[in-house]
Amino acid sequence: MTIVKYRNLAFRIFMLALAGCAEKPIVPGQPKTANLDLAPYTTREDCVDLIQGDRLDYRFESNAPVKFNIYYRDSNMIVEPITREGVVEDSGVFAPRISARYCLLWEASPTGALIGYSANVRRGAR
């Protein structure tokens, strides 16, 4: 295989992988459900912009223990208002104290994990 053909094949593989990673983001007022297949030690996140008064309803189940958190960035810090270690399920209603981009993050254990989750943002009074 020539170097040009190899680069072309590598580019096609990269674009297919990129297209496979594209997921619909969490949109306020539009409940989202998804299934994740996490390889060992990998992470996956789903983010949304929230302001005070908003509510983020979330629920997930996993076939293996995972680390789960909801986080946001504040300057050069990562703040995790919700953190769970080694859980196979969790659910709740998260109410942000400040306006920021919040992310739900799952981290797989050495065995990997299959995760089903749902999330919905309810906007507060504007």
Specify whether the CB–CB gap between 116 and 60 falls below 8 A.
Answer: yes
CATH of 25-122 among 3.40.50.170, 2.60.120.680, 3.40.50.2300, 3.40.50.10470 = 2.60.120.680
Enumerate the domain spans of the chain: 25-122
Predicted confidence (pLDDT) per residue in 10-37, tens digit: 444 444 343 344 467 898 999 999 999 9
Using only C-alpha atoms, the chain has a radius of gyration, in whole angstroms, of 17
State the pTM of this model. 0.79
Beta bridge partners of 77: 74
Predicted confidence (pLDDT) per residue in 61-89, tens digit: 999 999 999 999 998 999 999 999 999 99
Start-to-end CA distance of the chain, whole Å, equals: 60
